[in-house]
């Protein structure tokens, strides 16, 4: 199993370094075949739907909105409107390798639908690089399109999305939440652009990531993966997309996740973040992997830098380039103590990507921390905020209570 996981991770990261024509030829050949015939037809049907169609499938009216940033990215922002025009607007931010529809990945028991049922005006962001974004000048085949990290998401994508929602709804504030790297983007914006603290009635990070001082045991696996290791040891990458699965590759992963025999392979990636199989609806595993998306290599490198730099900094280009960009050999740090908006942190005891000790450190830095909610199940981990069958009782009942109190 260990050898298999090493192989899969190496394959997924191979395009960090390789532009091999042989891989392109292999992809073209294998795309002629169907690899997911064993997946339940109803699951395949849901996989084939676009986000608005999925919302309609579960009885919700879905809307697509378009937000354009100053540097030319065109972002699709999804919305599930409430019938009450005065309902509380809440913006949800996805994590790395994710996209907006991950917030309704779990059918009726999904975060977006739980919040919509509670009367919120639900908005779902898409950061640059997801399948629901484009650019006025570049295509995804241009390296310039992929020249970004989560720093640009905080500088451009999130503030433009917030301003669009406020202008559209005529509210003065919103509730902000995010998962994993989405919390990192939120922390970065609120700490670097103080005016946005006055536009956010409350920030509720799920599995917050701002420090990574307590690496999990699986971190030792990186030394066996040369392409993964580069994310932690190098700074200058040619801009490109990584971890994007489509065609036969996506079908194969769907098939593995639907197979009783080979499901353990699908579980390997979740084990990296803390995992308990009894919290997940395994029949939806092919949907879970289908709602993942590609990302820029700089985004992954920047996430890795949270560990190597002992906290959140702007992108580290190396001493020489840092000096040119920042007038300093080190990239500027994000100062969480500048976040004045009310914050409630939600985290799991079994989350190895947002270790409770790192979450405690975040809490110590925040001047307006309202609460730190440890999920009352010791098995609860990083992806359970999206995947767990009982997430409403464990997370979102308390989440809704805090959000409404912040609004009032």
Domain contains 111: yes
- Give the global pTM: 0.87
Secondary structure element (H or E) that encloses residue 370, with its range = strand 369-374
* Pairwise CA distance, residues 153 & 185, whole Å: 7
Cβ atoms of 182 and 126 within 8 Å: the answer is: no
pLDDT score recorded for residue 352: 86
What tokens does 103 get?
A: 């917030």
Whether 21 is covered by a domain: the verdict is no
DSSP string, 69-115: -TTSEEEEEEEE--SSTTSPEEEEE--TT--GGGGGTTGGGSHHHHH
What total of structural domains would you count in the chain? 1
Which token pair is 27? 């992809």
CATH assignment of the domain containing 226: 3.40.50.1820
Which residue stretches of the chain have pLDDT < 50?
Answer: 1-18, 29-37
Residue 328 lies in a domain: yes
Q: Where do runs of H (alpha helix) occur along 259-375?
A: 263-271, 285-290, 297-308, 319-326, 356-365
17, part of any domain: no
In a domain, 14, yes or no: no
Task: Check the CA dihedral 99-105-108-114 and report its sign.
Answer: negative
Question: pLDDT tens-digit profile of 203-244?
Answer: 999 999 999 988 665 555 555 555 555 665 666 667 766 665
pLDDT digits (tens, 9 = 90+) for 138-155: 998 899 999 999 999 999
pLDDT of residue 7: 39
Residue 317 pLDDT? 92
Task: Tell me which residues are annotated as active site.
Answer: 180, 351, 382
Give the whole-angstrom CA distance, residue 254 versus residue 40: 10
pLDDT at 149: 95
CB 212 within 8 A of CB 306: yes
Is 86 inside any structural domain? yes
Domain residue limits at 243: 5-9+28-407
Q: Is 22 inside a domain boundary? A: no
Query: Whose structure tokens read 């917050």?
Result: 208
CB 372 within 8 A of CB 363: yes
Question: Which pLDDT value is given to residue 247?
Answer: 56
Question: Is 246 part of a structural domain of the chain?
Answer: yes
pLDDT at residue 269 in the model: 64
Rounded CA-CA distance 119/237 in Å is 44
């Amino acid at each position: 199993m260990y050898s298999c996981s090493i192989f899969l991770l190496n394959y997924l990261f191979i395009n960090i370094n390789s532009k091999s024509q042989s891989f392109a030829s292999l992809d073209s050949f294998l795309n002629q075949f169907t690899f997911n015939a064993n997946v339940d037809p109803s699951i395949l049907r849901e996989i084939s739907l676009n986000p608005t169609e999925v919302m309609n499938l579960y009885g919700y009216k879905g809307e697509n909105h378009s937000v354009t940033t100053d540097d030319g990215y065109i972002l699709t922002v999804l919305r599930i409107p409430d019938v009450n025009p005065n309902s509380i607007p809440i913006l949800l931010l996805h994590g790395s390798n994710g996209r907006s529809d991950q917030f309704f990945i779990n059918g009726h028991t999904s975060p977006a639908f739980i919040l919509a049922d509670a009367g919120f005006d639900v908005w779902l962001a898409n950061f640059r690089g997801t399948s629901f974004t484009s650019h006025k000048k570049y295509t995804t085949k241009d390296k310039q399109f992929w020249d970004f990290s989560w720093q640009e998401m905080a500088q451009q994508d999130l503030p433009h999305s917030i301003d669009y929602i406020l202008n559209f709804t005529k509210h003065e504030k919103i509730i902000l939440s995010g998962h994993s790297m989405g919390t990192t983007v939120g922390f970065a914006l609120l700490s670097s652009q103080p005016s946005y603290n006055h536009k956010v009635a409350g920030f509720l990070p799920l599995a917050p990531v701002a420090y990574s001082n307590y690496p999990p045991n699986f971190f030792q696996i990186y030394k066996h993966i040369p392409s993964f290791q580069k994310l932690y040891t190098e700074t200058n990458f040619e801009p490109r997309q990584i971890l994007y699965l489509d065609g036969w590759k996506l079908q194969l992963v769907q098939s593995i996740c639907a197979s009783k025999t080979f499901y353990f392979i699908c579980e390997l990636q979740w084990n990296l973040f803390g995992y308990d199989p009894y919290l997940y609806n395994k029949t939806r595993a092919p949907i879970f992997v289908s709602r993942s998306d590609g990302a820029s290599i700089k985004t992954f490198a920047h996430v890795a830098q949270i560990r190597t730099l002992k906290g959140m900094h702007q992108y580290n280009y190396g001493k020489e380039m840092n000096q040119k960009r920042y007038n300093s050999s080190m990239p500027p740090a994000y100062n969480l103590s500048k976040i004045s908006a009310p914050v409630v942190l939600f985290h799991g005891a079994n989350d190895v990507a947002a270790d409770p000790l790192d979450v405690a450190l975040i809490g110590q830095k925040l001047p307006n921390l309202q609460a730190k909610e440890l999920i009352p199940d010791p098995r609860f981990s990083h992806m359970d905020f999206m995947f767990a069958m009982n997430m409403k009782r464990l997370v979102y009942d308390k989440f809704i209570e805090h959000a409404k109190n912040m609004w009032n």
